Structure 1
């Protein structure tokens, strides 16, 4: 897909790298000595920040395809995508370093605010895409469903898995008693698995095949119900007796 000039797979590949960093941390921390646990935690949260950044990049790229098609067609460049990917990684690492040196100044609040900033952007990209699609006639229906599927999946991933952690960190930073964000961290740990579904939506025809499969299952269920509308013959006898009376 990158050879064909598409830049979205570059962001998805970087998203996969950030997910692999998180998965490696979850595996290695079980046997890692306590002396390097702190370093691994910073590496894990750097990967977490990078994954959110690349989710925004994927949503922005899908939005530009619909909202600014001509501008995007002439401006899209693989080199630009590589530079943006480098900036996302650099920001994620620098952000954690800054938090490390100002640890006494409410690090939970700073980290949660940084994670919360992409939320209005994701909503804007989805709303703007739906508005542009309502008046667009040049985009094929298959591509429309593919783009909307990617944006909806990214927003659901962020809302269901990241927002609980953000709320917990905000409550921890403003509370005088320590709060253990174990449950919200469990939600976030499912994020790499959800990101894998993005690869399905990036492939052409994948959404149509999924919808066709769902429609086929629905039609099969309706046919089975139509073939046996009244499975109890005793009810038919009762109905006939009531009618004769």
Structure 2
């Protein structure tokens, strides 16, 4: 059993698998995230309470998705030059910067939903765009600090993996605690409507599910590799799948937009193409789009 840091097997098929995943991320993720950003922009125009953290989460996803272009094009570049190694390291660190920011905004989304239910009065008087923007800038700053340390210090895989894995593990207890506490608070409150409870619970469950399904496997495998020091082909393949799951997470984040709207009808009618095609869920079918005043009032009443 090989326990050294040098791979003694071919990675051709694993590399092909990761390239296919990169193409899927680019071809699916870019249009889906762009549509979600457009829909959130429509919420802002409707005087909706600005979903700052969801917008920033999608921006961090865009960074990861757009940079997949470089990793797809790597096979056509001269990999032996020093400039290639420098550029590759820079883009890898930038992707990690986006990942760290994503984790931060996932925690912020869960914390915000928790405050809405558990401390509604405090949240109502302290909620404003300025505070959300400042928190978001703080998340981006922390992610940038990590990226700077990663680029200049964590150049060795032996040093990088434990640090990165620990950062990945930190949100897990927070997300579980916020979901559990919010679920308890929802069951004990009568001030929140049943439909709003479903949206809050759904948003929290989606955030926790994204972490458990896409981030936790990589974290567990990383600690396994660090502790066991096993470098077999099987471990390498499982690690590649875990890495790919993390990279696929931006494809799921746009679904958070659904929990920003009151119903499926509100979700699909945010896109002009559905109205152009005659999509209508109203019983009368005589009104294609609500008035601007009604639309704004409806958005204010949702999450």
- C-alpha distance in 2, partners of 1:207/1:132? 28
Q: Secondary structure at the match of 2:165?
A: helix
Q: Which residue of 2 aligns with 1:127?
A: 180
Tell me if structure 2 keeps the 8 A contact 1:142–1:208.
no
Tell me if structure 1 keeps the 8 A contact 2:89–2:151.
no
**1:57, distance to aligned residue in structure 2 (A):** 0.7
Q: Deviations over 1:124-172 (max 9, x none)?
A: 1111111111111110111100000000000000001101111122233
Q: Which residue of 2 aligns with 1:159?
A: 212
The within-5 A match list for 1:128-207 is 128-178=181-231, 180=236, 181-206=239-264
95, 98, 103: which one aligns with 1:52: 103
Q: Deviations over 1:83-136 (max 9, x none)?
A: 111111111121132234432572211111111111111111111111111111
Tell me if structure 2 keeps the 8 A contact 1:145–1:207.
no
Q: Secondary structure at the match of 2:147?
A: helix
TM-score (norm: length of structure 1):
0.79
Tell me if structure 2 keeps the 8 A contact 1:108–1:172.
no
The within-5 A match list for 1:26-175 is 26-32=68-74, 33=77, 34=79, 35=84, 36-103=87-154, 104=156, 106-175=159-228
- The reply on whether 1:6 has 2:59 as its aligned counterpart is no
- C-alpha distance in 2, partners of 1:17/1:77? 20
Structure 1 gaps of 5+ residues are: 210-245
Report which stretch shifted further, 177-186 or 146-155. Answer: 177-186
* Structure with the greater alpha carbon radius of gyration: 1
- C-alpha distance in 2, partners of 1:16/1:99? 23
- C-alpha distance in 2, partners of 1:5/1:170? 42
Report which stretch shifted further, 149-158 or 166-175. Answer: 166-175
- C-alpha distance in 2, partners of 1:73/1:207? 28
- C-alpha distance in 2, partners of 1:106/1:207? 50
**1:174, distance to aligned residue in structure 2 (A):** 3.0
The within-5 A match list for 1:190-229 is 190-206=248-264
Give the length in aligned residue pairs. 209
